Structure 1
């Protein structure tokens, strides 16, 4: 019987850490993602996102999230791709970790972003899920650089980056919604990566690698 992963190879990928199962967001996961976002992701009026999607009213938040997941799938090509990965602890949806790239075959560079519901913050999940996708990018995709960024005031995100070995890579000003923020870029390589003391388990990689022509 043909599976969804046979039709769409990214759906077959699963990354497993000691506490987390990290896999693509399926349509059946969207209600759990919306519920997690509605439960709160950050303090009111303190959005860590350049596009303040969490500030949308409930009746707009759900369709906006669904459209984003569908848009990333529709725009997924060998030249430009974003994997949106649901983060699960047992049967609890904690948030989303993404990893993506443009012109990866030449640049060998990935970027990451993420969010966690507030009740899951402060427990090391953010570091664990970032370490998972970075390990995957370096060890399985052959990435040479991993980049990320955060508002300069967002010490929680920047602290995760520092703990994994990311180094500062410049500050720039950017419009975030109707405000201007100073944004800190950070950069990681396999040699500066402070690897976790656990081994990442990966399923479904070969099919995705073939699809991406790596």
Structure 2
């Protein structure tokens, strides 16, 4: 796909095992299929928005539509970069990097999911390291924040390995019940101390201004 009118389609992040990029329609179809196949056991709900409660077909369709909306709704003041994660050439999950008023705050947030078949291999850590490199090394971010339910040790483990520090807790309503979320924060110095994944970035010059960097 030629990124003539939306240069973000030319952005590539690469780590030793992964490639992250904005999915074209073919990759988006593959990503939706991964979501439809399941991203967590049915007796768990690791997300504050229970988008995975619907049947597989609806889950895939919702993923497809939501990813398109992140392109359609993009603005310099409020952007959401949703990247397909490829492992050995196959889509295995999604990694988001989002920000509001980034030019003023210098703060980004991350979110992600992996297909069930691809969990437990360290991919989650590597793909978040990729977008943290984009944020801090390439866009000049000052802080990165994240959050996870206190009973979600995998997500919390990824954050701790990458250098995030606890930043208090908050309560959200999920499926009509309260859940406690651990907030996490990392500044540039902490990121530099903990960075351990080699990341290369391609195609950023053509779309840097879209981030408010």
TM class by shorter-chain length?
over 0.9
Shift of 1:47: 1.3
Instruction: Quickly say closer, same or farther: Cα 1:144–1:51, change in 2 above 3 A.
Output: same
Name the SS for the 1:119 alignment partner: helix
Deviations 1:156-176 (A, max 9, x none): 000000011100011010112
Deviations 1:130-161 (A, max 9, x none): 01100110000000000000111001000000
d(CA) in 1 for partners of 2:56 and 2:198? 39
Matched, 1:5 2:34: no
How does the TM-score come out when normalised to structure 2?
Answer: 0.95
d(CA) in 2 for partners of 1:97 and 1:206? 21
Instruction: Quickly say closer, same or farther: Cα 1:33–1:141, change in 2 above 3 A.
Output: same
d(CA) in 2 for partners of 1:54 and 1:63? 11
Structure 2: gaps (5+ residues): none
Structure 1: gaps (5+ residues): none
Question: Contact 2:35–2:63 at 8 Å: present in 1 too?
Answer: no
Corresponding residue for 2:209?
210
Shift of 1:95: 0.2
Shift of 1:185: 0.6
Corresponding residue for 1:127?
125
The number of residues matched between the two structures is 211
d(CA) in 2 for partners of 1:78 and 1:191? 26
Name the SS for the 1:88 alignment partner: strand
Shift of 1:72: 1.0
Name the SS for the 2:157 alignment partner: helix
Corresponding residue for 1:68?
66
Shift of 1:55: 1.7
Of residues 47-56 and 108-117 in structure 1, the stretch that sits farther from structure 2 once superposed is 47-56
Detail structure 1 runs of 4+ shifted over 4 Å in the superposition: none
One of 151, 154, 157 as aligned partner of 2:155: 157
